[in-house]
Amino acid sequence: MTALQLDHVNIRTARLADCVHFYGSMLGLRMQPPPMAEDTSKGAYACNAAGHPIVHLVGTDVVVEGDGAVRGAAQRGMIDHFALRFSGDPDDYAARLSAAGAAFDRMDVRQIGMHLIFVRDPNGVMVELGFPLID
């Protein structure tokens, strides 16, 4: 068997509303309630244009401060980063992130034919946005 693509990432967060705004408004993913939920008050799916959930947000009351390792159902520290492939103009996304006051880095990686934008979500999880390089 071979993995074909990333299915979804699950992030537990005490900052659910901030994450819904980040993934929905700032990154342009379609937000919807997860299965067996009426709304996004306790969790949300961030879906791609085809409607496939790629980020599953789960609200939690557990807040962990500091830089130490976190285990179990805590709200940070379990993911270094994850990558999402995007279409469109990376400058549009950079402008959206700038307008929201988000810090980010950009780079062209010719070896993989991608322009990458690195931004942190409200939990400090690094999100890599990948765009095909166009010469």
What is the pLDDT tens value at each position of the chain, 135 positions in all? 455 567 788 888 888 999 999 999 999 999 999 888 899 999 999 999 999 889 988 888 776 666 655 555 544 435 657 888 888 899 999 999 999 999 999 999 988 888 999 999 998 888 889 899 987
Distance, CA of 107 to CA of 114 (rounded, Å): 9
116 three-class SS: strand
Please give the model's pTM, rounded to 2 decimal places. 0.70
Number of helices and strands in the chain (H, E): 2, 8
Q: What is the rounded distance in angstroms from the CA atom of residue 129 to the CA atom of residue 98? A: 15
